[in-house]
Chain A
Amino acid sequence: MAHEETVYEALDHAHGGEGQWAFGTGFDEPLAGVDTTVPEGIDPADLGAYCLMLGDDALVLCQRLTQWVTNAPELEEEVALANCGLDLLGQARLLLARAGSVGVLGRSRERATASIPDEDALAYFRDPDEFRHSGLVEAPNGDFGQTVVRLLAASAWRLALLTRLRESRDPVLAAIAAKGVPELTYHRDHAARWVLRLGDGTPESHRRTQAGVDAVWPLLADLFTATDVETRLTAAGVAADPAELVDEVRDVLTLVLERATLTVPEWPTPQPSRGRAGEHSAEFTALLTELQSTAREHPAATW
């Protein structure tokens, strides 16, 4: 056995030595060795659709957060937002890999070459209308005040959900959720401290953060109405009913906003999510085009 001299050669050798797809994460199969058998009584198509929703939420919010890299108000904050994004990207990979493991791949597999792992095929080779994230995560960042308000809302919601999914009857989903909980705890606390600092800061920071709250609040309407998939999976003990998350999320957000001397807008009336049905804004198409551009231009590139 030759002694590989570089990390790349070692990685390449350990993974078959035939070159790796250039844009993905193929060196590390996130579910390698994990038992992906679906427990009895759970519809694999529903499970996959649900993992896509939660994986897309994480992937799209990650992409929004990374737009702050090179633009954040201070270097430490750039690192912080990138770290939150990295955690979310990891959650997205695991969830999209789980969707792929039960065969939920949409049209992505027809477009991606066979060597591209499922989670990368899902991220890079679906069209906008195949994404299932909520409207909250795809909205443009706005200014930094609006960004931390959205991060607070999104992480409070996701944390409330994942704490419940630790008890999911799908052991893979339960494990992914259990890993995500401590990560999201850091994100939520970080965002909450920024909202306090800016809301209870200067008149200008207060004004801009309040404008961020007013822009983000209507988007919360998207989060709390179950899709048919969620209703069936909640009954099967796999998912959590989004309607059950309202009180916890509202309490957390209200507490932070009041401490930050911000005005809490009226809670929006929950609506069926258009994002979960694949209806997205033009801003999302632009975001996704950027995310996918290089991979789609060179779909078979290896390194």
Chain B
Amino acid sequence: MAETVTDPELPMLTLADLGVLRDVRDEDGTVVVEITPTYSGCPAMGVMRADLVHALHRAGFADVDVRTVLSPAWSTDWISAAGRSKLAAGGIAPPGDAPVRRSGPVPLQLGPSRRTATCPQCGSPDTEEISEFSGTACKAMRRCRVCREPFEHLKEI
């Protein structure tokens, strides 16, 4: 049941597709749900929490405890294959591989971003980034050089 709850900002994805839903278990009659925030400031967390409680109540589970898990930090690598297909079908280019997390200093990236994305409208790989920031913290803005359509790209993190 918890797996069917969708993301408030990306309604084509379930929280399970997004990798935000980390665990669901029974603890002495209470349904314990663990979720992890995507970005520190993701304003959708409260809605996710409420939607989970609501869905589980509707399914007949009276005692529900939604807990936040901060570590390990969420990564776009946790988005499922099904989630990636649904994103593309919904007009949002799915992320590539997330940068490797190293223990030392983070290298500076001065040039244009090396990210690539395929246009979700026409399928062309010939696309360019307009901005690394878009309508939500998790997306970048791109434009297709072939069909000229702008589109959003879930950026790697």
Contact = CB atoms under 8 A, between A and B. Distances in A.
Interface residues of B, number: 49
Nearest to A94: B40
A185 interface: yes
A167 B132 CA distance: 29
Contacts of A172: 70
B17 to A, nearest CB: 20
A13 B54 contact: yes
Contact of A84 (B70, B101, B133): B133
| Chain A CB within 10 A, most for which of B46, B53, B67, B155 | B46
A11 B48 CA distance: 9
Contact of A190 (B66, B71, B132): B132
Interface string B44-57: 01110111011001
B81 interface: no
Given A79-B134, A159-B106, A255-B108, A15 B50 contact: yes
Contacts of B134: 79, 83
A176 B53 contact: no
Given A93-B41, A182-B73, A79 B47 contact: no
A290 interface: no
B42 A90 contact: yes
Interface string A58-84: 000000000000000000110110111
Interface in B101-157: 101, 103-106, 108-110, 112-113, 130-135, 137, 141, 155, 157
Interface of A is mostly: helix
B157 to A, nearest CB: 5
Given A175-B70, A182-B73, A183-B39, A76 B50 contact: no
A60 to B, nearest CB: 15
A1 interface: yes
B54 A179 contact: no
Nearest to A83: B133
A255 B67 CA distance: 43
Contacts of A30: 45, 68
A14 B132 CA distance: 35
B152 to A, nearest CB: 12
A179 B40 contact: yes
Contact of A31 (B43, B68, B112): B68
Interface in A139-170: 159-160, 163, 166-167
Contacts of A94: 40, 70
Interface stretch (A2-10, A127-135, A203-211, A261-269): A2-10
B113 to A, nearest CB: 8
A31 B70 CA distance: 8
Interface of A: 1, 3-4, 7, 10-11, 13-15, 25, 27-34, 76-77, 79-80, 82-84, 86-91, 93-94, 159-160, 163, 166-167, 171-172, 174-176, 178-183, 185-186, 188-190, 192-193, 196, 248, 252, 255-256, 259
Given A14-B54, A83-B137, A186-B132, 17 more contacts: A1-B57, A11-B50, A13-B54, A14-B50, A27-B50, A33-B65, A33-B67, A34-B68, A76-B141, A91-B41, A163-B105, A178-B70, A178-B71, A181-B73, A181-B101, A188-B106, A189-B110
14 contacts: A14-B53, A28-B49, A29-B68, A77-B131, A79-B131, A171-B71, A178-B71, A179-B73, A186-B132, A186-B157, A188-B108, A189-B110, A193-B112, A256-B108
